């Protein structure tokens, strides 16, 4: 590691300030993003595929570039470092603020390494971000330069694939794989690569639970599998687990609980794509002491609370009249006008 | 089944490899299996005909307004779309001066019936993850209905089956419960096929085409809203629109002057830069499909327009001529619809109307998959592969909802149940990071 890649705490605080203390959040320069990504990569190199975490912690599902709603999560659930956070992936794509969202999360992870955990989702990949928006967003916000997209997608290759919480809860983005019965099979994967089209690594980020089946079934997504109750039971039994917490599917109420709370889906992007009208939630786990009070019809396990929230009011604030949209027409003063006052790239079709 | 090497034409391979299922069903079949099939698609007769259809439709609607009374009112945010649709059934022939041809009346009758099927299939109440399962029932009902129609047209049986197929695919995915520009393309294919086969393109004028599309979009929007179809596959804010693209092309064409003609008399065309204004939207939302589509976005989306629809916002900030808007949207359609594997992989090819044959040589085209898997009948999905812990797979009926699809999505097997290895499409650049660099 060379000296130039050491980012002092003071500088991290400055990065966080740029993002948190300005409306809209200020984009960090390409070089800074490069440094942040590189530093985090070196730290994640030694992280196992499945990281071990402990309660109390708060689990967050898909965010998809909904930056205002991420800040809302910190408002309702406590901001790092006062709350421990586990993010289950899908930070980018579809939303308007993917760059700001992933930059903030990376900066927070570096600033409070033991308080923030970032897991990889199916959108943390080159192929998917090219198709679903993050790529286009970087082109637009960094004046046609793809450097930042490269830094982030390279970093995504280093993110862990899952986490265990108190050794009894398994948290991952998607779900189970027919090719993997034991967590140890995940632990030995070489994860430092683009997410493949199939195999355990792909299934972990692509699979979905299906309450109508007992077994595995092909997924209509074209990647990953649907898994049923028996699969879930067997997996928990073999690995001494009580629960799978995952994200990956839009839920109208912000969460969906299957099989007596054994498989819990957490969705954290309210009013998804500005129009779905859905709620969102984060799962707060305070302890993992299940000895006494298990109920037959429970939605959550004891010690768990789903903090449900609606879209942040900031989402509806006018960002254009305030001349304040990052990169796109977002000139703040005369000097930066020539730099930023350029139409988005897609307008090329129309010239 | 494959004939031996003495066959001179390599193209025959794909014909023989179609297997017997092809002759039996005559239904259009999947031909685009991965992105390496896209160049073949561009050479195909289907591609040529789709472009002919699109250009004909665009030409026909230039300088025309949607006749009054056909576009359903867009109710304000928050009010229930259900009550609205009951109080406002699609109004046909409100304006008697508009003479509709028989074929238009037939299409409208079909679409009206499909709309009634929504009334007969109310959304299921109670807890659900997101998409409404009643939509599956609606699809089942509409499939039965569509299979029974188009009998009275002067169509060959082949054409009829093909057209029914494209119409059936025009209303979104039954499995994933979503709707996108690929489904919209199927409706274009259906209408274009019907009009070309019956030689109606000259007989039916732009007004009628707009009436048909207006009724179609009314129906699709009702499906989207009533059954909460997920914007899956959408690029989120970084796409033109969550669901539609062709509607913008038609609407932009409406604001263009017909080729070789001068507009007779004054016709109000709003400046491109003014289209996002409340006033313009109010004035044009029931006469122009482009403005109508924008009004629909305002109706369903919250938040600043420049944020949730930055592409449209940019168009209206930096383009000033409707000719440019039209040509830009068409160029974009080439890239974002015809050029994107995740979209066109769902377009199927028939034998006659939209055939998978070379437009120049008239020879069947090969597909990337034909070279690898010999004959795999499409109907084999009926028999599920054996599952991991022994039992046969149960039929999933309700839970696998609408989802973000993998761009490389294609038919696969559960590992360990089939010796055929799952192949990796070539599109993925598998870049390995240099560790610790």
Q: Is A346 a catalytic residue?
A: no
Residues in Cβ contact with A38 at an 8 Å cutoff, skipping those fewer than 6 apart:
A5, A151
Q: Give CA–CA dist A268/B117, Å, rounded.
A: 35
Domain co-membership, B217 together with B288 = yes
> How many Cβ atoms sit within 10 Å of the Cβ of residue B104?
22
pLDDT on residue B185? 94
Residue B222 covered by a domain: yes
In a domain, A322, yes or no: no
pLDDT at B376: 42
- Per-residue pLDDT at B360: 86
Among residues B298, B314, B349, the one where a domain terminates is B349
Same domain, B3 and B137: no
pLDDT score recorded for residue B262: 65
Burial of A21 (0-12, 13-18, 19+ CB in 10 A): exposed
Out of A103-107, A225-229, B10-14, B294-298, which region has the weakest mean confidence (pLDDT)? B10-14
Compute how many other C-beta atoms are within 10 angstroms of the C-beta atom of residue B378: 15
Number of compact structural domains in chain B: 2
Position A340 in a domain: no
Residue numbers of the domain that contains A45: 6-311
pLDDT recorded at residue B97: 63
**Which pLDDT does position B427 carry in this prediction?**
38
Q: What is the mean pLDDT of residues A38-54?
A: 94
Query: Of B314, B349, B384, at which residue does a domain stop?
Result: B349
B280 with B334, same domain: the answer is: yes
B392 in a domain, yes or no?
no
Instruction: Provide the pLDDT for residue B16.
Output: 35
B97 SS3 class: coil
Q: Are residues B273 and B301 in the same domain?
A: yes
Reported confidence tier of residue A23, pLDDT bands at 50, 70, 90: confident
The stretch A16-35 carries a mean pLDDT of 89
Count of Cβ atoms closer than 10 Å to residue B384 Cβ: 18
A310 at the B interface (CB within 8 A)? Answer: no
CB contact under 8 A, B409 and A122: no
Residue B137 lies in a domain: yes
Q: Are residues B243 and B325 in the same domain?
A: yes
**Are A275 and B242 in contact (CB < 8 Å)?**
yes
Total count of domains within chain A: 1
pLDDT of residue A183: 93
Residues B130 and B252 in one domain: yes
**Chain A residues inside the 8 Å CB shell of B425:** 197
Does A220 contact B405 at a Cβ distance shorter than 8 Å?
A: yes
- What integer pLDDT is reported at residue A296 of this predicted model? 67
Q: What is the pLDDT at residue A178?
A: 94
Is residue B197 one of the residues assigned to a domain?
Answer: yes
Residues of A in contact with B388 (CB under 8 A): 178, 215-216, 231
**Same domain, residue pair B217 and B297:** yes
Q: In this complex, do A194 and B405 lie within 8 Å of one another by their Cβ atoms? A: no
* B384, B388, B410: residue with CB nearest A178: B388
CB A216 within 8 A of CB B396: no
Q: Which parts of chain B register pLDDT below 70? A: 1-25, 75-97, 151-154, 232, 260-265, 369-404, 408-437
Residues B248 and B274 in one domain: yes
What is the structure's pLDDT at B263? 59
Is residue B402 in a domain? Answer: no
Domain presence at residue A94: yes
Residue A215 has pLDDT above 70, yes or no: yes
CA distances from B49 to A169, B43, B278, B355, B399 (A): 55, 11, 38, 9, 38
| Nearest CB neighbour to B394, from listed A194, A213, A218 | A213
Asked whether residue A335 is assigned to any structural domain, the reply reads no
For residue B396, is it within any domain? Answer: no
Q: Does residue A67 belong to the interface with chain B, where contact is any CB pair within 8 Å? A: no
B157 and B208 both lie in a single domain? yes
- Given a cut of 90, is residue A131 above it in pLDDT? no
Structure tokens at B379: 């109907």
A317, part of any domain? no
Pair (B99, B203) in one structural domain: yes
Residues A123, A173, A197, A237: which is the catalytic one? A123
- d(Cα B41, Cα B48) in Å, to the nearest integer? 9
pLDDT value of position B237: 87
Question: Which among B300, B308, B408 is the nearest to A197, CB-wise?
Answer: B408
Q: Is the pLDDT of residue A202 over 60?
A: yes
- CATH code at A218? 3.60.21.10
Q: What is the pLDDT of residue A299?
A: 82
Could you tell me the residue range of the domain that residue B311 belongs to?
45-258+269-349
Establish whether the linkage from the previous residue to A194 is cis, with ω within 30° of 0.
Answer: no
pLDDT digits (tens, 9 = 90+) for A139-193: 988 888 899 999 999 999 999 999 999 999 999 999 999 999 999 999 999 999 9
B66 assigned to some structural domain: yes
Domain CATH for B239: 1.20.120.1150
Per-residue pLDDT for A337 more than 80? Answer: no
Does residue A222 lie in a domain region?
A: yes
Q: Which residue has the tokens 């079709």?
A: A349
Domain identity same for B9 and B156 = no
B387 within a domain of the structure (yes/no):
no
Q: Which residues of B touch A317 (CB under 8 A)?
A: 304
Q: Name which of B297, B223, B286 is nearest B251 in CA terms.
A: B286
Render pLDDT for B179-207 as a digit per residue (tens, 0 to 9).
989 999 999 999 998 888 777 777 788 89
Is residue A155 situated within a structural domain? yes
B315 and B197 fall within a common domain: yes
What gap in Å lies between CA B100 and CA B72, rounded to an integer?
A: 18
Between positions 30 and 49 of A, the ones with CB within 8 A of B are 41-42, 45
Q: What is the pLDDT of residue B25?
A: 54
Q: Which residue has the tokens 């000097």?
A: A335
């Amino acid at each position: 590691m060379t000296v130039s890649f050491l980012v002092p705490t003071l500088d991290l605080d400055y990065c966080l300030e740029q993002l948190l203390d300005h409306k809209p959040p200020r984009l960090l320069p390409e070089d800074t993003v490069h440094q942040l990504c590189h530093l985090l990569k070196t730290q994640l190199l030694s992280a196992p595929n499945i990281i071990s975490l402990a309660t109390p912690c708060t689990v967050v599902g898909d965010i998809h570039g909904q930056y205002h709603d991420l800040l809302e999560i910190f408002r309702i659930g406590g901001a790092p470092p006062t709350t421990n956070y586990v993010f289950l992936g899908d930070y980018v794509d579809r939303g308007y603020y993917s760059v700001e969202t992933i930059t903030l999360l990376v900066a927070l992870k570096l600033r409070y390494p033991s308080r923030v955990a970032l897991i990889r989702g199916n959108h943390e990949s080159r192929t998917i971000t090219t198709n679903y928006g993050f790529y286009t967003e970087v082109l637009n916000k960094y004046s046609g330069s793809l450097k930042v997209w490269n830094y982030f997608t390279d970093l995504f290759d280093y993110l862990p694939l899952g986490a265990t919480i108190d050794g009894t809860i398994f948290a991952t983005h998607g779900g189970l794989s027919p090719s993997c019965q034991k967590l140890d099979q995940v632990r030995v994967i070489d994860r430092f690569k683009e997410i493949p089209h199939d195999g355990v690594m792909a299934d972990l980020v692509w699979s979905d639970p299906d309450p109508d089946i007992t077994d595995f079934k092909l997924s209509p997504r074209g990647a990953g599998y649907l898994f049923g109750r028996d699969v879930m039971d067997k997996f928990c039994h073999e690995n001494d687990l009580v629960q799978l917490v995952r994200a990956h599917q839009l839920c109208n109420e912000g969460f969906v609980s299957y099989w007596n709370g054994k498989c819990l889906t957490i969705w954290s992007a309210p009013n998804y794509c500005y129009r779905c009208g859905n709620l969102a939630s984060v799962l707060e786990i305070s302890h993992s002491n299940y000895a006494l009070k298990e109920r037959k019809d429970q939605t959550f396990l004891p010690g768990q609370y789903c903090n449900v929230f609606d879209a942040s009011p900031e989402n509806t604030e006018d960002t254009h009249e305030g001349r304040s949209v990052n990169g796109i027409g977002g000139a703040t003063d005369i000097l930066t006008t020539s730099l930023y006052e350029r139409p988005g790239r897609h307008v090329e079709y129309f010239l | 089944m494959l004939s031996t090497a003495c066959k001179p034409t390599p193209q025959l391979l794909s014909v023989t490899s179609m297997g017997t299922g092809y002759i039996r069903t005559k239904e259009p079949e999947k031909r685009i299996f991965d992105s390496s099939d896209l160049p073949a698609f561009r050479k195909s007769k289907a591609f040529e005909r789709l472009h002919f259809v699109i250009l004909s439709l665009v030409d026909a609607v230039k300088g025309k307004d949607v006749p009054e009374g056909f576009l359903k009112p867009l109710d304000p945010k928050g009010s229930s779309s259900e009550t609205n649709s009951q109080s406002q059934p699609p109004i046909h022939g409100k304006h008697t001066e508009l003479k509709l041809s028989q074929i238009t009346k037939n299409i409208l009758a079909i679409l009206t019936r499909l709309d009634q099927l929504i009334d007969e299939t109310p959304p299921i109440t109670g807890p659900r993850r997101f998409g409404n399962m009643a939509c599956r029932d609606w699809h089942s009902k509409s499939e039965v209905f569509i299979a029974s129609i188009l009998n009275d047209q002067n169509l060959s049986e082949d054409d009829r089956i093909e057209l029914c197929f494209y119409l059936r695919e025009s209303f979104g995915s039954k499995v994933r419960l979503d709707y996108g520009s690929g489904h919209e393309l199927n409706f274009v294919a259906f209408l274009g096929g019907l009009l070309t086969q019956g030689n109606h393109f000259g007989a039916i004028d732009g007004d009628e085409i707009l009436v048909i599309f207006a009724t179609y979009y009314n129906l699709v929007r009702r499906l989207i809203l009533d059954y909460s179809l997920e914007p899956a596959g959408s690029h989120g804010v970084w796409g033109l629109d969550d669901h539609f693209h062709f509607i913008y092309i038609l609407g932009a064409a409406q604001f263009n002057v017909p080729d070789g003609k001068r507009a007779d008399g004054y016709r109000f065309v709003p400046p491109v830069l003014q289209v996002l204004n409340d006033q313009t939207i109010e004035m044009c939302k029931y006469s122009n499909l482009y403005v109508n589509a924008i009004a629909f976005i305002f109706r369903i989306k919250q938040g600043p327009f420049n944020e949730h629809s930055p592409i449209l916002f940019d168009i209206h900030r930096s383009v000033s001529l409707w000719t440019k808007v039209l040509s830009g949207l068409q160029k974009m359609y080439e890239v974002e619809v015809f050029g994107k594997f995740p979209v066109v992989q769902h377009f199927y090819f028939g034998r006659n109307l939209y055939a998978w044959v070379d437009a120049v040589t008239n020879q069947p085209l090969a597909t990337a998959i034909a070279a690898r898997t010999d004959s795999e009948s499409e109907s084999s999905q009926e028999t599920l592969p054996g599952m991991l812990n022994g039992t046969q797979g149960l039929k999933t009926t309700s839970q696998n909802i609408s989802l973000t699809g993998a761009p490389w999505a294609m038919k696969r097997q559960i590992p360990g149940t089939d010796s055929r290895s799952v192949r990796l499409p070539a599109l993925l650049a598998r870049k390995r990071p240099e560790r610790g660099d």
